[in-house]
Structure 1
């Protein structure tokens, strides 16, 4: 009788026990969810602060090894301790002193029918002109302690800045694809039977990922010194031979791209030429590494909670996207290069104009107006309407002035492609009245 009663009581209490266990599990799940939200939350105006005592041991070991911890949070002035003022020069000089600009320049003669003289003059003077805006805006990082696309929030706003964020990520990804294809082709040319272009692309991407993973200091160290072997390798290659004039090189270019051409040029140098070819293949790492680094930062800015997600997570995403896309682009090398370059640059003219006019005219070169306390506070940042309106207005002349493989505007038929120049000038002129009205409406910057 007593055993029957015990069984009955157990059966009666079982639902209560299950309900209690369910409530306990639910509380644990809610606790984990709240903990995750707490971890991802970024306070208004929160700045970067090193907290080694609060980090897990494995994570702190990575930081001690040189991996950069900060992502997009503002860096207070007391933590801006780098005194390598040449960094701003070497980071651009090294990343461009690689294989990437060579096929870009070759399109002038191979794809556009320009003479060597005309192509050289256009490249030289347009490069001098277009280097001025990024050089000028690059000073803002040191002065404000803000990433450049975080600085853009002070004109485009917290939400509308997403558009240039995505465009910039696409641009950087595109150039990384082209760099990885060039490096992969060069590595494959060393032993085509054993190393395919696809394998070469994967190698270039993985090495670049390793360099960019370490972050700011490692990247600048790499960019500060690797320009030396890059320059030597390019000078030796140029000394060995120009492409359309040599049938074998012309055939190789159409068959295996820029990597194959470099291999043909260096063939007379024998084993030393093969060594130089390896240096040329590795030269793209400086370009790809900073691009991967920047793409990861762009992704961190897309949503407020992403600011707390470790940068290497976004770098893994970037690499996972780049590798298959680069392999696909390598299948139609010249077409991919031409189509990409034809459409990717126009938005930068609008972006540069907005940031420069904002700084020079409305902020009067006063970097202190970039208040760290509002860098992630949408209601206190500008709404970005003036910046987007000025950019959209400029499209009225940009589209007729652009010349792409699929479309040539009526103005471009007479003048050539002037889309970038028109984008810069028209956006700058339009932004002046639009931003003035926006400031009057808001009553503040």
Structure 2
């Protein structure tokens, strides 16, 4: 057994926020209370001055496996996740081959079982991500897919998407949508505005996102399907989702730390490391996203962990690939830019990183209770640290060199210590 002693237990599901000890036995939480340190415990973790919370859940990662393992693979992605406090992640399906068949899905899930964390995956909505023919969703679901997404490529055909929503409704799983109208975009990855003008090209205007979200939220309202809107970036998008939820659509929405932490000017400071789809936008957009988190319009915080090689990011601004890694900085960015600035409480931040993503996919995790899963993160919310190195294969992060608050000390998954900062 493991005794975690003297920490502040914060559990968003029950609302518990008190000094407690936790006893782990096997893969379960045996007791939550006050306990003496005795020889019966194989290990005692001194959590004084730290927060004990449910293991974080990331509903949106790219582990690039199969097909692009020079950027990341399932093993290194899992190590990166554990270092960031995540015990469960959901892999997107835009691999090579894409997860539009049960064979590729089986490969991802079986390889995930060999890692120390819980690896889940979605299947694609369309065959080969072409947006024309639906995958065999029933077979993929029965094979273990927790939902469906063509993330990385917008679904532009409304009739096709309407049909897809009706299909996922039958399975009672979410469809997750990457919302950009390509016809309105010059070059992806950079906001169309002051910064793109300085760089000499048309970028991606906010209307390219908000207009397609407006269409798709109405499709969601019509079909009554579970629709999840991915990586919001624009103020107008938040307003559209707020309205659609009020109208009764079964919507959830997510935002990344980069979008609530940075603006488009990060492109001028960090170059291609700040190039991401959808792009970093204006200060107005950033604060609208934060307001959406505060009032519940935005349900979930994800990383959209998107590893790329140094060479792929060393290209010109026009040619460099979009995306950044995020698993190892996500919690700290939330603490630094949301909690310490008074936008969210610690309970609210953790709710959006634990029980909310668990609810999206109906996972029996994201909470702390006796008899529940022994998936936990222990972190010091007051400790400052400098972003320097990563367990990911890639290092495409604009936060390198930043000093953040909130250091993960232990990650425990299925009752096993899968990360300790003393071992890095």
Bin of the TM-score, shorter chain as denominator length: under 0.3
User: Please, what TM-score do these two structures have when normalized by structure 2?
Assistant: 0.23
Higher strand share: 2
User: Please, what TM-score do these two structures have when normalized by structure 1?
Assistant: 0.22
* Larger Rg computed on CA atoms: 1
> Quick one: higher RCO (CA 8 Å, sep 6+), 1 or 2?
1
